[in-house]
Structure 1
Amino acid sequence: MEIIGYIFVIIAFARLLAEVFERVGYPGFLGEITAGMILSALLVEMPREQTSLLAELGLFFLMISAGLEVTPEELHYGGKKTLPLYVVTYLVMLLVTLPFTGWRLNSDALIVASIISTASAPVVLRLRRFFGGDFLHVALSYAVISEIMSLFIVYVMVRLHEKPGSYLPVFETVLKDAIFIGILLYLNYVIGIRHKVMIIRFLRRLKSDEAVFGLFMVFSTSLAFISEEIGLHFSIGGFMAGLMMHSDMVGTKQYDRLTTIVSGVTYGIFAPIFFAWRGLNFETELSFVVVEFFVVVYSVRLLLSSVMVRHGSVPTSLARGAGIASFGVLGLLVGEIGFVSGVLSQHAYAIASLASVLGVFTSATLGRVINHYRYRAGEPLD
């Protein structure tokens, strides 16, 4: 009952602040993070292990929801454009990070560069009205690719830290990860051609939405377990499960049934816990160097992203750049994994954490400014 009471307080307060933030034009998850920061000073006796487990489930469901947002074809189409963009962004962010890590190309620099190269899918969705055309798929693909790569990089650093000087285990892990993802995408392609009708007919025979959800959870947790066993983060398995369960594979009706339940469970229960938990564990240091790091990093990244994805007017290019340069809450998790595992120093963890939160706020604010500018100029806002 004690943990239930704490969870009730977290969900209630997180959802309250999420509603407040939504009403003033910001993504709700920023309110949930803020709620966690406030509650960190109040819930000092909260059982942390149980809450951490629920937060992990929150990440799992968020990655499933992200997978359900795109199809493999959209990810492939967007990936052809965003993978080169991510490589360029990561290399530039690595160069920008080096002065703040003593000009040493170590795990601090590599992990921090991966954190500040990510994009926030919720901010991308909020800015989509300004993108124009089909850029939303490109921006979402970038968010997915950048988040997966940040998790991959921190796990590689952890394995190198566990066995210094031994690169064979890391190579084996990378090979297993590539084979695992390749097999899933191949199966998705083959099943979609040969057995799609059979799957749709089978799901139609199920009498309840809960049965569809239950089968999907068995499938997604199985992939999550395999993903964790071969060296990937378990949430990658959840994302792959969501990616494979697109409407073309399971039918529009079953897809709608599934997304309705997943969305309710995710954003009604587990996502608030995950975001609030990130706020509860938020650690940074208020110094000129930390603020300087964010100002330099965000300015360079916004300019780089806006130039590389420019289209039409300056406001549209800035909106696209802000969506790509929106950092992401997953960076807080990556930083925490690196810090706890001993591959990320406290200073690097602090600057990366502050950059992640301020980046989301700044991109969301820039979206509001662009919205106001276009409204004053009489441009259609879709």
Structure 2
Amino acid sequence: MEIIGYVFVIIAFARLLAEGFERLGYPGFLGEITAGMILSAILLEMPRDQMLLMAELGLFFLMISAGLEVTPEELHYAGRITLPLYVLTYIAMFVVTLPFTNWMISSDNIIVAAILSIASAPIVLRLKRFFGEDFLHVALSYAVISEVMSLFIVYIMVRIHENPGNYTPIVTSILKDAVFIGGIMYINYIIGIKQKVYIIRFLRRLKSDEAVFGLFMVFSTSLAFISEEIGMHFSIGGFLAGLMMHSDLVGTKQYDRLTTIVSGVTYGIFAPIFFAWRGLNFETELSLLVLEFFAVVYVARLILSAAVVRHKDVPTSIVRGAGIASFGVLGLLVGEIGYVSGVLSEHMYAMASLASVLGIFTSATLGRVVNHYLAKPQETVD
């Protein structure tokens, strides 16, 4: 009952602030993070191990939801643009961090560059009406690729830290990851060709939405377990499960049933806990150096992103760049993993954490400013 009480307080307060932020034109998860920051000074006796489990479930469901947003075909098509853009962004962020680490190359640069290269899927979805539906899949593809790569990079650095000088386990682990992901994509391709009709007919025979959701959860947790066992983060298995359950494979009706339930469970229960937990564990430092670091990083990302995904008019190019350069809450998790594992210094963890949160706020604000600017001519015409 004590745990249930804490869960109730966190969800209620997080959703309250989320509603307030939504009314101000910002994504609700920023309010949930803020709620966590406030509650960190109040819930001092909270059982952290149990709440950590709830937060990890939140990440699991968020990655499933991200997978459900795109299809493998869209990810493959958009990846032709976003994968080179991610590589360019990562290199740029790596170079930008060098002056702040005394021009020394270390795990700090490698991990912080991965954190600073992430895009926030919720920000992308909020800005889609500004840069157009046709660009949405490109922006979401970048968000997915950047999140998966950041988790991959931090776990590689952890393995190197655990096995200094011995790269055989690392190479073996990378090969396992490649075989696992490649195998899942190949199975999805084969099933989509030969077994699609059978799968749709089978799901139609199920009498309840709960049965569809139950089967999907068995499938998702199985992939998550395999993902964790081979050395990847468990949430990547959840993302792959969501990616496979696209409407072309399971049918539009079953897809709608599944997404409705997953969305309710995710954003009604577990996501507020995950975002609030990130706020509860938020660690940073406020100084002129940190603000200078963020300003350099954000300007560099915005210019690079806007140039690569440019549009014929400048405002749309800026919003597209802001969507790609929206950082992300997952960066806080990646930083925490690196810091706890001893591969990320406290100073760079604090700087990357603040940059992630400020980047989300800045991109959302930039979207609102551009929206206001674009709305003025329309109001004049009316």
Bin of the TM-score, shorter chain as denominator length:
over 0.9
2:332: which partner in 1? 332
User: What is the match of residue 347 of structure 2?
Assistant: 347
Structure 1 unaligned residues grouped into runs of 5+? none
Secondary structure of the equivalent of 1:377?
helix
Higher alpha-carbon deviation: 361-370 or 100-109: 100-109
Q: Distance in 2 between matches of 1:20 and 1:281?
A: 22
Shift in Å, 1:133: 5.3
Deviation for aligned residue 1:356: 0.4
- The residue type paired with residue 294 of structure 1 is F
Q: Letter of the aligned partner of 1:345 in structure 2?
A: S
In structure 2, the residue matched to 1:87 is 87
Q: Which residue of 1 aligns with 2:150?
A: 150
Structure 1 CA distance for aligned equivalents of residues 300 and 201 of structure 2: 51
Alignment pair present for 1:375 and 2:375 = yes
- Give the aligned residue type for 2:102: G
Equivalent AA in structure 1 for residue 119 of structure 2? A
Paired amino acid for 1:132: G
Q: How much has 1:102 moved relative to structure 2? A: 1.6
Q: Does 1:202 align with 2:205?
A: no
Q: Equivalent residue for 1:292? A: 292
Cα-to-partner distance string for 1:48-89 (whole Å, 9 max, x where unaligned): 000000000000000000000000000001111100000000
In the alignment, what sits opposite 2:132?
132
Three-state SS of the structure 2 residue aligned to 1:46 is: coil
Matching residue of 2:229? 229
Query: For residues 1-382 of structure 1, what are the structure 2 equivalents within 5 Å?
Result: 1-132=1-132, 134-378=134-378
The Cα of 1:288 is off from its aligned counterpart by 1.1
Matched residues in 1 for 2:133 and 2:58: separation? 32
Matches of 1:284 and 1:180, distance apart in 2: 36
Residues 306-345 of structure 1 deviation map (CA, whole Å, 9 limit, x = unaligned): 1111011110000000000000000000000000000000
* SS of corresponding position for 1:311: coil
Equivalent residue letter for 1:270: F
1:240 deviates by: 0.1
Could you list the per-position Cα deviations for residues 285-306 of structure 1 after superposition, in whole angstroms to 9, with x for gaps in the alignment? 1111111100110011111111
- In the alignment, the residues of structure 2 paired with residue 230 and residue 379 of structure 1 have an alpha-carbon distance, to the nearest angstrom, of 57
**AA in 2 matched with 1:124:** V
Deviation of the 1:103 alpha carbon: 1.0
Give the aligned CA root-mean-square deviation in angstroms: 0.9
The offset of 1:377, in angstroms, is: 2.3
Give the TM-score taking structure 1 as reference length.
Answer: 0.99
Tell me the distance in 1 between the aligned counterparts of 2:243 and 2:146: 16
Stretches of structure 2 lacking an aligned partner (at least 5 in a row)? none
Rounded Cα–Cα distance in structure 1 between residues aligned with 2:100 and 2:28: 32
SS of the counterpart of 2:286? coil
Distance 1:62 1:340 in 2: 22
In structure 1, C-alpha distance between the alignment counterparts of 2:22 and 2:260, rounded to whole Å: 21
Q: Percent identity?
A: 79
For residues 111-159 of structure 1, the C-alpha deviation after alignment (integer angstroms, 9 at most, x for no partner) is 0000000000000001101113511100000000000000000000000
Which amino acid in 2 is paired with 1:278?
R
- How much does 1:6 deviate? 0.5
Corresponding letter in the other structure for 2:77 = Y
Q: 1:117 to 1:203 in 2, by over 3 A?
A: same
**Whole-angstrom distance in 2 between the partners of 1:366 and 1:280:** 27
Output the CA distance in 1 between the equivalents of 2:291 and 2:151. 25
The Cα of 1:378 is off from its aligned counterpart by 2.0
> Helix, strand or coil for the counterpart of 1:134?
helix
Deviation, 1:168, is 1.1
Q: What is the distance in 2 between the residues matched to 1:4 and 1:133?
A: 41
Separation of aligned partners in 1, 2:92 and 2:17: 35
Separation of aligned partners in 1, 2:364 and 2:128: 12
CA distance in 2, matches of 1:368, 1:355: 20
Measure, in 1, the Cα distance between the counterparts of 2:219 and 2:103: 45
Distance in 2 (CA, whole Å) between partners of 1:131 and 1:193 is: 34
Count of residue pairs brought into register by the alignment? 380
For 2:184 and 2:311, the matched residues in 1 are separated by 35
Q: Secondary structure at the match of 1:378?
A: helix
* Local SS of the residue matching 1:144: helix
